């Protein structure tokens, strides 16, 4: 297949590389010359604009930081919609708000194209390994049609419902993630202050009703899970500022829907406090620093 791919960042670059490995012909675009060079080395054709990348493509995939970038890449003078052939499906794997996803679908439709929102989970590790989960919004027929393409980059392709629900699934999941991590951090630090061994406490939670991904896979207390970022100084992993972006999308969507988001909004402020302390680049499980009494590191 000929695929136009726009956005070659930490996630986009390995995703595009996996598509090439899967046998597709890629025409790529990114503002970063370095990112372009990496893809060229792997056999991609370099395009001078989103429009050029989309011209002649059978599929277009975008992987960008925020809705404003997606809008510019689609609708700009040199944008995808100016170059793409009628009937081609555009897949946006960026994490953005559901309302924007619907608006982009309408823009695409007016241009004679189809649009699927397909944000991912699995992080850079999953992007490199080709084991991402894709949450797809669109008709059942559209879902079936995009599945073979996405399979080149992920192992779990889920149909979430109509346009925008891929984004809804992503933001609802990450709302829970942000809240549970804050809750686990709070409880682990409280347990430490009350004199229980962290590994013992982690073990109990993980076999009881407090069990969750934030405790059994990604425990924020150093040494409880050897493979977690907390055991290597909170490096790597899912950055606090990215969690902040996703909680911002969740609380904004709640605001639009007039739904209270008490727990999510509070968790958001706690991550914001971390970021204001200069810890925005650390893994989001470093939120436990707000609770622990460690000399200068204390939040």
Would you name the residues annotated as active-site residues?
Answer: 170
Residues 202 and 288: their CA atoms lie apart, in Å, by: 14
- Integer Cα distance of 107 and 254 in angstroms: 24
162 exposure class (CB count in 10 Å sphere: 0-12, 13-18, 19+): middle
> Among residues 195, 226, 227, 294, which is the contact residue for a copy of itself, using CB under 8 A?
195
- Contacts for 13-16 with beta carbons within 8 Å, 24 or more apart? 13/38, 13/39, 14/124, 14/127, 14/128, 15/61, 15/63, 15/93, 15/127, 15/132, 15/153, 16/44
Strand ranges in 19-141 using DSSP code E only, listed in sequence order: 25-29, 45-46, 59-62, 89-92, 114-117, 120-121, 132-137
User: For residue 213, which of 201, 200, 198, 202 has the smallest C-alpha distance?
Assistant: 202
Q: Which of residues 62-101 bind a copy of itself (CB under 8 A)?
A: 98
CB of 196 to a copy of itself, least distance (A): 4
Query: Is there binding between residue 296 and a copy of itself (CB under 8 A)?
Result: yes
Asked whether position 257 contacts a copy of itself by CB under 8 A, the answer is: yes
Subset of residues 151 to 180 that bind a copy of itself, contact rule: CB under 8 A? 156, 158-162, 164-165, 168-169, 172-177, 179-180
Question: Smallest distance from the beta carbon of 174 to a copy of itself, in angstroms?
Answer: 7
Contact present, 133 and 156 (Cβ < 8 Å): yes
Nearest CA to 278 among 267, 289, 268? 289
Taking alpha carbons only, the member of 176, 179, 94, 107 closest to residue 134 is: 94
Binding status of residue 32 toward a copy of itself by CB under 8 A: no
Q: Site residues for a copy of itself, window 202-221 (CB under 8 A)?
A: 203-205, 207-215, 218
* Binding to a copy of itself in span 107-136, by CB under 8 A: 121, 133, 135
Q: Which one, 9 or 299, has the nearer CB to a copy of itself?
A: 299
The H or E element containing residue 284 is none
Binding of residue 138 to a copy of itself (CB under 8 A): no
Site for a copy of itself in 262-291 (CB under 8 A): 262-270, 272-273, 275-277, 280, 290-291
**C-beta of 57: minimal distance to a copy of itself in Å?**
29
Binding range to a copy of itself, per CB under 8 A, among 24-32, 37-45, 63-71, 256-264: 256-264
Cβ distance to a copy of itself smaller for residue 56 or 71: 71
Nearest distance from C-beta of residue 63 to a copy of itself, angstroms: 19
């Amino acid at each position: 297949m000929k695929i136009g791919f726009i956005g070659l960042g930490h996630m986009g670059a390995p995703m595009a590389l996996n598509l090439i490995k899967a046998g597709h012909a890629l025409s790529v675009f990114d503002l970063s010359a370095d990112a372009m060079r990496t893809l060229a080395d792997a056999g991609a054709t370099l395009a001078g604009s989103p429009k050029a990348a989309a011209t002649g493509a059978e599929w277009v995939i975008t992987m960008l930081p925020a809705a404003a970038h997606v809008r510019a890449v689609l609708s700009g003078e040199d944008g995808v919609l100016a170059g793409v052939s009628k009937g081609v499906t555009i897949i946006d794997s960026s994490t953005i708000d559901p309302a924007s996803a619907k608006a982009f679908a309408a823009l695409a439709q007016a241009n004679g194209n189809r649009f699927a929102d397909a944000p991912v989970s699995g992080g850079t590790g999953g992007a490199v390994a080709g084991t991402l989960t894709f949450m797809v919004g669109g008709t059942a027929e559209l879902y079936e049609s995009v599945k073979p393409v996405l399979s080149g980059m992920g192992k779990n392709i889920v149909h979430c419902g109509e346009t925008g629900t891929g984004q809804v699934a992503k933001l609802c999941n990450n709302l829970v993630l942000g809240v549970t991590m804050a809750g686990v951090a709070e409880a682990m630090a409280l347990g430490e202050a009350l004199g229980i061994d962290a590994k013992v406490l982690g073990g109990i939670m993980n076999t009881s009703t407090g069990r969750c991904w934030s405790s059994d896979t990604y425990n924020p207390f150093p040494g409880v899970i050897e493979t977690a970022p907390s055991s290597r100084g909170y490096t790597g992993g899912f950055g606090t500022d990215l969690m902040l972006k996703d909680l911002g999308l969740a609380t904004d969507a709640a605001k639009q829907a007039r739904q209270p988001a008490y727990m999510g909004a509070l968790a958001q402020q706690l991550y914001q406090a971390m970021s204001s302390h200069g810890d925005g680049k650390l893994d989001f499980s470093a939120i436990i620093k707000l609770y622990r009494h460690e000399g200068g590191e204390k939040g």
